[in-house]
Chains A and B, each alone.
Chain A
Amino acid sequence: MKKILSILLVSALTVSVLAGCSSGKKEEAPAEGESAGGSEEGGITVAAIETAYGSKMWEDVCAAFTEETGIDVELITDKNLEDVIGPSMQGGDYPDVIHLATGREKALTETFIKDQNIVEITDVLSMTVPGESEKVGDKIAGGFTETSLTNPYGDGKTYLAPMFYSPCGLFYNAGLMEEKGWEVPATWDEMWELGDKAKAEGISLFTYPTTGYFDAFFYALMYSVGGPEFFDKATNYEEGIWDSDEAKTCFDIVAKLASYTEPTTPSQANDQDFTKNQQLVLDNKALFMPNGTWIVGEMAEAPRADGFKWGMTALPAVKEGGDSYSYTWFEQAWIPGGAENQDDAKQFIAFLYSDKACELFAGAVNADGEPAPAIQPVLGIADTLEGDNQMFYSIYDNGAKAAMGNFAAYDSGVVGVSNREVWFDPVNSLVSGNMTEEEWINGIKEINDQMRENMVQ
């Protein structure tokens, strides 16, 4: 009897332990207003990163989509979305739509691009927006669906849908500039002059949150130095491109800027302390920093100098009368190759550009209940903005050209280095004097060939 009891207990233990290992069954949220048109599997799964815009807007947009099309949506939002959906994707269970930008530390989107594991969505551009009569392609603002961020393989096919854009540029204290009677520099020569004037008053010309912010800066700089042609060659790692005069000009400007950078910047340029660098601008210790429009919300609670007023400018032109550029940073939504309900997923992506969705995104509030508008890249949206955002988003109306795109994707054959480590991280060493401009350029040239050879075709 005792033996039977022990065997029973042991088996119960084994079973209960193993039961813990079985994969949890996904529970489908009860459908609201279920109607015809719902897919056989019972809708789609949308995974969206929760950022400064909060997650409420996604709930609203998903509900509006279900109301419009009758397709149920199971929404997953999280600040660390990769950790939530990553394990189940490794197990072969993919969401149908993923909204997650490139440039994050876990580089999930980049990984899918490199693996060519993303569904082509060129046909979505010719789809009609659900509930409207216009086509998706006609609603999206010009240029957004022609960049390497949406067409990563340079074959004219679109794989990623552009979402929430934000102009990037140099942010400064407009109040301080007015008080001192300084003009915002239109060329780099004026920039250096201003740097000397500011230095005399104990203010550094430049700082940056982390070297990650140099991507937008460097892209815009490449555009302003050599135009789109040079940018394309450089971002496709063309042979000998870093020996060209244009490249030399770019390197010289960054190296000179490094010498004008607030000296504590590199020691604070990490994920823990980057707000201290941003604080330098609020405290009038540094004049300019590269950033995006989210900075206003990010530093909303931070103390600041009297009379502080946010200002934003495009990158100065290289020569008098030359073009000045502002990089357009945007996020991406895409359908992973393993998605089951791809047709419904495409419907969902099309819906993201509807007037209804744009309005819901623009009315987003963050976790503290503060307004944090997420701006979809659709035509005419800048006219509807207010306050600081109106000033930021009108940068392109005031003469600055839009710079878009990024370095071409390479596959996992390139190991030990990434674009950021080769191009941007060394800026920390340039500022601290541990590296010369020459060493930086040599490092780039060394790796350029490896990247070109492993480019995803």
Chain B
Amino acid sequence: MKKRSGRSRFVFLCAAPAVLLFMVFMIIPTINVFRMSLFQRSAYSVNEKFVGMENFARLMSDKNFIRSMQNTILLIVVVTIVTFAFALVFAAILTREKIKGQNFFRIIFYIPNILSVVVISAIFSAIYDTNNGMLNSLLSLFSGKTVAILWKGENMVMTSLIIAMIWQAIGYYMVMYMASMASVPQSLYESAGLDGAGRITQFFQITLPLIWTNIRTTLTFFIISTINMAFLFVKAMTSGGPNGASEVVLSYMYKQAYTNSSYGYGMAIGALVFLFSFGLSALVNVVTRREPLEF
């Protein structure tokens, strides 16, 4: 008995620092965000005014917020689908096919991931330049006339953001899928091949189901990280412009909390984003649930 209580004390002491840190740095601040979203205040306010759910009610009719939310959802959907499609196909090609310089490609694809967003935005600033940019120059070369697409103009800016975000993310997920694809036994492909299954059938019938658990986990990660990465990309590449066309929900929150000194309103956006990402992850988790297959 005595030994048991000593053991639980030891376990308690071991867990205490982590629990304490988690409380101080995660739970309390999160609760605080929800609390502040009910007040009218600035970041340094001495006095704050309780306004209840008014901040949330205003959000629902705030056209700029709705647009930033639409942009965020657009990014989540398009960037996720395209990145995952490319990452899976590239991973399958690099693991299943015999290609010269496999490792070289792996490194090339991975490089964007180790660059900081600021560097990426500088690279894309050069690519997207209207007059001397790489993209317009290439298009001019092939079309035979001067192409002057405003890549960061109001109509194209979201497309430009999507391209940059996909370019940045593919490599990381490709390497992850390569690792799990490598562990799928070769014999499965061989027997499928004997049964007459082509490469595409093999990919959909063998590779995808067997690495599904991995895809599921990365999908949840990716969706949440896209919300955060979108903020960084917007901040570094467009500052939300022109005229708010590329504003995403976190950059809008930042603008409200600081530039517009409406900290309470910003926190209301923060609280919504928190619930939104939580709900979305749960939804993705439920929708992608499958009987796990083992080999």
Q: Which residues of A pack against B, CB within 8 Å?
A: 3, 6-7, 10-11, 13-14, 17-18, 21, 86, 89-90, 105-108, 110-112, 114-115, 117, 210-211, 263-264, 266-273, 276, 337-338, 412-418, 421, 425-426, 428-429, 432, 434-435
Complex CA distance for A14 and B17, rounded to whole angstroms: 5
Decide if A414 touches B243 in the complex (CB within 8 Å).
Answer: no
Binary contact track B255-276/A, C-beta < 8 Å → 1, others 0: 1101111111100000000000
Closest to B160 in A: A267
Query: B260 — nearest CB in chain A belongs to which residue?
Result: A418
Q: Could you tell me the distance in whole angstroms from the C-beta of B48 to the nearest C-beta in chain A?
A: 9
Question: Known: A266-B150, A428-B154. Is A90-B243 also a contact (CB below 8 A)?
Answer: no
Binds A, one of B6-14, B177-185, B192-200: B6-14
CB distance from B139 to the nearest CB of A (A): 15
In B63-107, the 8 Å CB interface with A consists of: 64-65
Residues of A within 8 A of B150 (CB): 263-264, 266-267, 432
Contact B10 A267 (CB under 8 A): no
Which A residues are CB-close (under 8 A) to B138? Answer: none
The answer to whether B244 and A416 have CB atoms under 8 Å apart is: no
Given contacts A272-B239, A434-B243, 11 further A-B contacts (CB under 8 A): A117-B45, A266-B243, A267-B152, A267-B153, A267-B156, A269-B242, A338-B46, A416-B62, A418-B255, A418-B259, A432-B150
Q: Are B20 and A14 in contact (CB under 8 A)?
A: yes
- Is the Cβ of B260 less than 8 Å from the Cβ of A429? no
A272-B237 contact in complex given A111-B42, A115-B45, A432-B154, C-beta closer than 8 Å: yes
A-B contact pairs, 22 of them (CB 8 A): A3-B6, A10-B10, A10-B16, A10-B17, A17-B17, A17-B20, A106-B259, A111-B258, A210-B239, A210-B241, A211-B241, A268-B130, A269-B242, A270-B238, A272-B121, A272-B125, A337-B46, A338-B46, A412-B45, A415-B260, A416-B58, A435-B243
Q: Is the CB of B259 within 8 A of A415?
A: no
Q: For the complex, is B225 an interface residue (Cβ under 8 Å from A)?
A: no
Residues of A within 8 Å of B55, CB to CB, are 415
Compute how far the CA of A90 lies from the CA of B48 in the bound complex, rounded to whole angstroms: 13
Closest to A435 in B: B243
Flag if A264 contacts B155 (CB, 8 Å).
no
Q: Which 6 pairs between the two chains have the least Cβ-Cβ distance?
A: A428-B242, A267-B152, A267-B153, A267-B150, A415-B265, A111-B261
Give the one of B46, B148, B261 with max A CB within 10 A: B261
Most buried by A among B46, B129, B238, B260: B260
> Could you tell me the distance in whole angstroms from the C-beta of A343 to the nearest C-beta in chain B?
21
Closest chain A residue to B58, Cβ basis: A415
Q: How far is it, in angstroms, between the C-alpha of A325 and the C-alpha of B47 when the chains are bound?
A: 40
- Quick check: is B131 within 8 A (CB to CB) of the other chain? yes
Query: Which chain B residue shows the least CB distance to A89?
Result: B44
Contact A107 to B258, CB < 8 A, known contacts A267-B150, A412-B264, A429-B242: yes
CB distance from B283 to the nearest CB of A (A): 28
| B148 partner residues in chain A, CB cutoff 8 A | 263-264
| A428 and B256 contact, CB distance less than 8 A | no
Q: Check A270/B152 contact, CB under 8 A, given A105-B259, A110-B261, A416-B58.
A: yes
Most A C-beta atoms less than 10 A away, residue of B46, B47, B65, B156: B46
Q: For the complex, what is the distance from the CA of A89 to the CA of B42, rounded to whole Å?
A: 12
- Is A412 within 8 A of B261, CB to CB? yes
What residues of chain B lie closer than 8 Å to A17, measured between beta carbons? 17, 20-21
User: Which of chain B's residues has its CB closest to A13's CB?
Assistant: B17
Q: How far is the CB of B111 from chain A (nearest CB, A)?
A: 21
Listed residue (B6, B14, B24) with the most chain A CB atoms within 10 angstroms of its CB = B14
Q: Report how far A111 CA is from B40 CA in the complex, Å.
A: 13
The smallest beta-carbon distance between A328 and chain B, in angstroms, is 23
**A11 (CB) vs chain B CBs: closest residue:** B13
Contact with A along B211-243 (1 / 0, CB 8 A): 000000000000000000000000011110111
Q: A106-B259, A425-B244 are in contact. Are A434 and B46 (CB under 8 A)?
A: no
Cβ contact of B44, chosen from A21, A112, A416, cutoff 8 A: A112
> Which residues of A have CB within 8 Å of B131?
264
A267 to B150, CA, bound (A): 6
Task: Tell me, yes or no, whether B173 is within 8 Å of chain A by CB.
Answer: no
Q: What residues on B are CB-neighbors of A117 within 8 Å? A: 44-46
Contact, CB under 8 Å: A426 / B43: no
CB distance from B66 to the nearest CB of A (A): 10
Q: Which residue of A lies closest to B42 (CB)?
A: A111
Docked-complex contact B261 and A114, CB < 8 angstroms: yes
Once A3-B6, A416-B64 are accepted as A-B contacts, the answer to whether A115 and B46 lie under 8 Å apart by CB is yes
CB <8 Å contact, A417 and B10? no
Residues in chain B near residue A273, CB distance under 8 A: 125, 129, 152
B71 to chain A, nearest CB (A): 15
B residues in contact with A415, CB < 8 Å: 55, 58, 62, 256, 260, 262, 265
Give the CA-CA distance A273 to B238 in the complex, in Å.
Answer: 8
Contact among B40, B45, B239, B259 with A270 in the assembled complex (CB-CB below 8 Å): B239
Asked if B109 is at the interface of the complex by the 8 Å CB criterion, the answer is: no
B239, A271: Cβ atoms closer than 8 Å: yes
Q: With A106-B259, A270-B238, A412-B265 known to touch, is A426 a contact of B151 (CB < 8 Å)?
A: no
B58 to chain A minimum Cβ distance, whole angstroms, is: 6
Min C-beta distance of B290 to chain A, whole Å:
41
Judge whether A432 and B242 touch: CB under 8 Å: yes
Which B residues are CB-close (under 8 A) to A435?
243
Q: Which residue of A lies closest to B242 (CB)?
A: A428
| Mask of B18-50 contacts with A, CB within 8 angstroms, 1/0 | 001100100000000000000011111111000
A contact residues around B17 at 8 Å (CB)? 10, 13-14, 17
Kindly list chain A residues whose C-beta atoms are within 8 Å of the C-beta of B151: 267
